[in-house]
Every structure is written in structure tokens, then in C-alpha cells.
Structure 1
Amino acid sequence: MKGSRWFIVFIVAFLSIMFAIEYHLPKNFVWKPTFSHYDEQPFGCAVFDSVLSSSLPQGYTFSRKSLYQLEQEDTTQRRGILVISDNLRLSDVDVNALLKMAERGDKIMLVSTLFGRYLEDTLRFRSYCSYFSPMALKKYATSFLKKDSLHWIGDSTVYPRQTFYFYPQLCSSYFWGDSLPERVLAQRVLAQRVFESNEFRYETEVDSLTTDSLVYMPVAMSRRWEKGEVILVSTPLIFTNYGMLDGKNATYIFRLLSQMGKLPIVRTEGYMKETAQVQQSPFRYFLAHEPLRWALYLTIITIILFMIFTAKRRQRVIPVMHEPANKSLEFTELIGTLYFQKKDHADLVRKKFSYLAEELRREIQVDIEEVADDERSFHRIARKTGMDAEEIAKFICEVRPVIYGGRVIDAEQMKVYIDKMNEIIHHI
């Protein structure tokens, strides 16, 4: 016993030391954009959602529903819908649902590099998409090159014009300036040279001091639609943990979100990859962090070794387990005796009626507790059971005063009511 105790102490100490070493090792960030509610990496949205949840007074909630599902929700409260993705190719069903919500007064903000041709044709705009490379971002950041500028040019009566600075890889997508639907909120200043050859034609961005060809490319714009508004943003990487923590640039995010007005905002992940939408279980959390992952591996190995070395120990005597006695009949007799002594016949009818209502809801989707649908419900029950609709209606109307009105009945009436309900259940 003493040797076993020292073995356990050694294993616990070894695991603690390994965990401490792994915990203090340098962390490796994953620069892959996921926009996931549970991702704490730079281009996840765990910090982003947390800050908005605690900062927006109107409320900020999280959903995985599509635009069509959100449009089908029966609500009179107007909302702001936020969709963040790097490849938002909306179908015609999603676009029609989006426009219906905007007609009712909702405000929808779509943040993506791609929007789909159907939405572009409907709102009459065109966008330019650039491929994001994490290696290019790292190389650019370590070279200490100048950041690109985004100019806020929205309503100057609310916010003054201001310039924000981001790495060009985070704001390389934009809208074409000659295809704007209505109002530009922010734009990016580009200085371009065009190179041509016999095989291809391409553009490169150069420093503004070397050329006078300045181009203003919108990166955020809005379009009024009936009572609501559709807001388009082409820089999804800014709407991440990195963008929220990047100096004072969180102001830019809040200015865009302020276009929702005083509406509560719902962010949906219905258009993200399924791997990014999976909620992290405790094991996923352990596996996502290298120190915890190695601690888990070592714990499993230790348990396996412990099982191997203790497998030869003598097993305890297995106690004899007697089969539990069936007390159902005694319980039924006890309950029946209590009701007989109390003579509460109406309560038995109420319980039987609740069972009948549940059976009808489950089997033929009829709610006899909803008085407004009586006519449709009685005819549907009659079709399903083959009984007379007037007979069913007469019975339901006769038994309701007992259920809801508290009318007292005797034992004979109780038997009649229960037999009738059994007959309906039998014919379903």
C-alpha cells in the first residue's frame, strides 16, 4: 500500500511539472479566418462577440439560423441582423428573405468579400474580392511597412470624418465606385499603376507619392429598402478578435454597427462552415490548447499504465443482486384507494382529458384545448376516428365545464366521460 501511494504522488507531480512547462511555452496563433463564436484565435469572434454583448445597450444575441429562418420568425420587434463570412454567396431564397425583413423595417448588415451574383444584381452593385494569405500578412507586418487607410465618410452630423489604419491584407476587397446603390460609409484610398502585356493586364498598388492616380474605393455602403436598410461591408477580417483589439480601430467597427440604430442586433453563423459552428466541448477545448492537450495525453497514458499494472489484483466478491419486486399493481391500488376515499371524480376526469389532449396532439396534430379551433378540430377527429363530428363536439363541450369550470360530478358521470375518451383514443 505504501509503494502504491508513492507511485500516485510521483504521477501527480510529473503531470503538474509537464503541465507547467507546456503552459509557459510560447503560444502559436492560428491565422485562419473562422469567424466562430467560440474561436479565440486572431480571426475568430469570441472576443468580438463578448465585447459587443457587454457594450451594446439594445442587446446582442447569437444565432445559427439562416436569413430565411429568421424571416419566418413571428416577431413584431424590429431587429438588426449581422452576417459575417469570407464567402457569403446568398441564394435567391436568402436574398428574398433578406429584402422582406428590410421591407418590415429590419436592418441587415452583410460583412463579406463575396456576396453572390443574385444579391449584386438585385441591389445593383459590383465587388472586387482579393484572396487572403496569412503568410503575406505576417511578412508585411514584420517588414514594418505602412498601413492602408480607411476613411469614414458617413453622416458627418453624427460622427466626424476620421481615418483608420489597417494592414492592406485586411481590407483588400472593395466595391466598384461606379456601381453604388446609395450611400457610401467608408472608403479606401488606393494609388494604382496599370501594367499591360500581350498576355495579361494587372494592377499594382503603389505609394501615393510616386503617382497622382488616386482611386477611392468604397468598403462600406448602405441601401435603403422600404422601411429598413441593407448595409454592405467588404472587410470581414476587421470584424474579428484582431480587429476589435487592434488599437483604436474598434471605433470603426462601432461606427458601422451604429448604422443599425437602436435595434437589438442578432449575429447569425448560419452561413459559416460547419466545422466553425460546432460548439466546443470540454475535450475540444483541451485539444485546442497545446499544454492542455499534452496534459490530456499524459493522463490517458498514465491511466492505461495503471490499469495494466493493477489488472492482476484480486477482484472483490460480486454481491448477489436480487431482482426488484414489481410494485406497480400495489401503487395503482393505492392511488385508486386515495381517489375513492376523497371522491374527487372531477380530478380523474381532468387527468384523463389531459392524456386525451396529448394523444390527439401527437397522433393527429389537433389541439382540443384551443377553443378557437373547435370546428376544425372536431371535423379532423371525426375523419380520423370514423365517429360522428356532432357527437364529438357535444362530448367535448359537455366535459369542458368539468375540466375548466370546476363542476362537480358523481361516479357514474365520471365513468361515462372516461369511457367516451377511451373510445376516442381507441379509434385514433
Structure 2
Amino acid sequence: MNKTFKIYAAIFIIIMVIMALLEVNKKEVTDWRKNFDVNEKSPFGLFIFNEEIKHLFNNNLKKIDQSPYDYYSRYKKDPHNILVIESDLDTESWNKILDQVSKGSDAMLIVSRMPKEISDSIGYYDSNISFEEQNVLKLTDRKYQNDFIKLDKFPSGRGFTYIKPEVEILGKTVEKNNEDQANFIKAKFGKGTIYVHCEPLFLTNYYLLKTGNVKYAQDVFSYLDGKETLWFVESNTKVSNFFMRFILSKPALKYAWWVLLGGLALFVFFNAKRKQRIVPIMEPLKNTSVDFVKSIGNLYLQEGDFHDMMAKKAQYFLNRVRMDLLIDTQHLDEEFVKKLHLKTGKTVEMINEAVNLIKKAQDPYASVMKEDLGRMNNLLDEILK
């Protein structure tokens, strides 16, 4: 184990210890959101109500996890009770509920808002909102006068502002500084009855756990008869099929899991960076043509074959004259000298001397000296300059 790895391990352990201490000393934060979720144990969830509802309806209750529209489109039911608690239903589902009520079913709708076309059909037009911090929910029936519930945490303050004369008021919201306003009504609709309560808070965990508050809920549901009750439940909690769902469902395990993944990612990052293979330096290819020419030149000089070198130089010169100047080099006569003189502008004497050296180089029996090679090389280069 090298020194670098020990340093990383020590840093990781220190971070884990700090995280654990923060987790142990972390204060529980209460979620006061009004979620109305049957699986939530937060103050405004419906966990307690969900556990006790079977006793309220004498075990004659069925939970439906489909929308009313989907359910009644598939099943035909005899007259029954319908329960909806603060669910965001679409207009088609509300219309399905009204259709069932018109055929003889009874509906208990405990919702703070309802589409206007539905409320108009029932017999009220709007709801009033009060901003008092506390109020009391009471029922109008004398036999329930002693059963009330005090809302001291975030009451919605909702109540019905206009109610048709044929609609019966079953409950009111009582406030210290305002007039009483109806919050629980009963309306005949076709062959059935619709009950609407606009303050669902009384069913939440926070209020049901308070002594005496359950009696108010029992009184509200007592208006429904003993028929089978269908409760259309809208749960905010979806069951995940993810293989890590157990670990991610527990805050401590979830926290440890993410810390572990973060530590592994840091370890891999720094370790890979430390052991990265060195990229080799690629030198560009060298131009060896000049070196090759020098080597060949040195070879000829060492051999002392000046005649062969003159012959190759002459051959190269005549080839350039043919290609660049377009002059025939088959006969190195006065005509050739004249044409080369006109195209290069060099003197006739210089060209004649160069031609004589070329002829000497082409004669395999001619005797040449080193000075002849040097002179011819200078003359030919000067002519084609």
C-alpha cells in the first residue's frame, strides 16, 4: 500500500465520520404540507384515517385505485356509497359520480375545490376563504352539538357563499371575528344524495390523534347508510420496482449509499489520474534526402571516379534543357549553342566551354581531372541559374 493510497483512505474515513456525526445530530424536520396521502405519517397525511376507516364503515368498504371514469366504464354497480377525499379528479370522473348518484347512489365528497360545472349542478356556486388562524367545525344537528373539532393549524377557512334553498346545511365553520359559514351540505340529485364537505383537514393525522376529534369524523360519515362504500383513493406514493428500492426507502441507508458511491468515484478519479500512462513524444520524420546525396557524393569522391560523376552531371543537365527549355539535345552543335544562348542569355563562349566539357564527359575514353569536374559543375549551374 503506497503513501498516496493511505492519504486517500484517511480522507475518506474522516469524511465518513463527519457525515455520520452530522446525521446523528440532525434534527427531525416536520413536513407540514397538506398532502392527504394515505401512506404518509406526516401531520397532514391520511395514514391514521386509512388504518381506522374500516371500523367507521363496519368493514363494508372497498378501496379503488382507479379513477371513477375508468372504474365505472368497466363495472356496473347497484346503488352504493361513494367516498372521495381531496382528489384531483378530471371532469369526466366527476360526471361519472353524478351519473351514479342520479341512479340511486350516495356520494360523500370531502374536497376543498370542485369544478364549477359540478358545484353548480349540486346547488352551490362558490366557496369563501377566511384567513383566521383558528376556527371550529360544528354540525347543525342538535344531537351532534357536543361533537366539534378545533382547527388550530393552517385551516383552509373555506365555506360556501351561495347555496340554493333546496340544499340542506349540515355543518358550519365558526370563527371568532367572522360570521358562521356553511362547510358541510346535503343535496338531492336524481335518486341519490350528495354530501359535500369543504374542509378535509379534520381527517388528517394531526387532528385525528387529538382526543375527541374522532367523534366528529364518525358523525360526518354517519349520514351515509349501510350500503357498500367505494373509496376512490389517489395515492401520491408509487411502488417502485427498482432493485435498490429498500435501501433508497430508508434515509440512513440511502445517505450511506450515496456517500459510498461518492467516495468510490473520488478514489477512481485520483487513482486513475496518478497512474495514467505517459504519452510518448513522437518526433517528426526527418528529410534524409540531403544526407543521402552527401553520402553518395562522399562515396564518389573516395572512389575518385571523376569521369562517371561528370557523365551523370552532363546527363542531368541535358535532361533539364530538354524538359525546361524545350531544346533538342541529340546534336550538341552550333545550332544547339545558339538556341541555348538565346534562351538562357549566357555568353556563347561560356556555353561552348560547357558543351566541350559535356562531350568530354560522354567520351568513355577521355581522360578527365578533378578540375574538369569542378569547372563543368560551375558552368552548368551558372547556365541554368
Q: Using structure 1 for the length normalisation, give the TM-score.
A: 0.51
Aligned ranges 1:160-199 → 2 under 5 Å? 161-167=146-152, 169-176=154-161, 178-179=163-164, 181-190=166-175
User: What is the CA–CA distance in structure 2 between the aligned matches of 1:269 and 1:263, rounded to whole Å?
Assistant: 18
Contact 1:127 1:173 in 2 (8 A): no
Partner of 1:26: 27
Gapped runs of 5+ residues in structure 1?
141-146, 192-204, 207-214, 271-275, 312-428
> Cα offset for 1:119?
1.3
1:110 matched to 2:109? The reply is: yes
User: What is the CA–CA distance in structure 2 between the aligned matches of 1:12 and 1:56, rounded to whole Å?
Assistant: 55
Aligned ranges 1:324-363 → 2 under 5 Å? none
Partner of 2:344: none
Partner of 1:212: none
Contact 1:151 1:162 in 2 (8 A): yes
Which residue, out of 121, 135, 144, partners 1:148? 135
Tell me the secondary structure at the aligned position of residue 259 of structure 1.
coil
> Cα offset for 1:187?
0.9
The one-letter code matched in structure 2 to 1:172 is G
What's the % identity of the aligned pairs? 18
**How many equivalent pairs are there?**
272
The one-letter code matched in structure 2 to 1:35 is F
Q: 1 or 2 for the larger relative contact order (CA 8 Å, sep ≥6)?
A: 1
Aligned ranges 1:116-265 → 2 under 5 Å? 116-130=115-129, 147-154=134-141, 156=143, 159=144, 161-167=146-152, 169-176=154-161, 178-179=163-164, 181-190=166-175, 205=177, 215-265=179-229
Deviations 1:244-300 (A, max 9, x none): 223322222222222222234333245xxxxx6341537678667754542332233
Partner of 1:301: 262
Contact 2:135 2:155 in 1 (8 A): no
Partner of 2:67: 66
> Cα offset for 1:64?
3.3
Partner of 1:96: 95
Partner of 2:379: none
Tell me the secondary structure at the aligned position of residue 57 of structure 1.
coil
Contact 1:113 1:129 in 2 (8 A): no
User: What is the CA–CA distance in structure 2 between the aligned matches of 1:45 and 1:234, rounded to whole Å?
Assistant: 16
- For the aligned residue pairs, the C-alpha RMSD in angstroms reads 4.4
Gapped runs of 5+ residues in structure 2?
273-385
Contact 1:129 1:174 in 2 (8 A): yes
Contact 1:58 1:262 in 2 (8 A): no
Partner of 2:238: 279
> Cα offset for 1:241?
2.2
Q: Using structure 2 for the length normalisation, give the TM-score.
A: 0.56
User: What is the CA–CA distance in structure 2 between the aligned matches of 1:167 and 1:221, rounded to whole Å?
Assistant: 23
Structure 1's 76 and 267: CA in aligned 2 closer, same or farther, altered over 3 A?
Answer: closer
User: What is the CA–CA distance in structure 1 between the aligned matches of 2:224 and 2:231, rounded to whole Å?
Assistant: 12
Tell me the secondary structure at the aligned position of residue 223 of structure 2.
helix
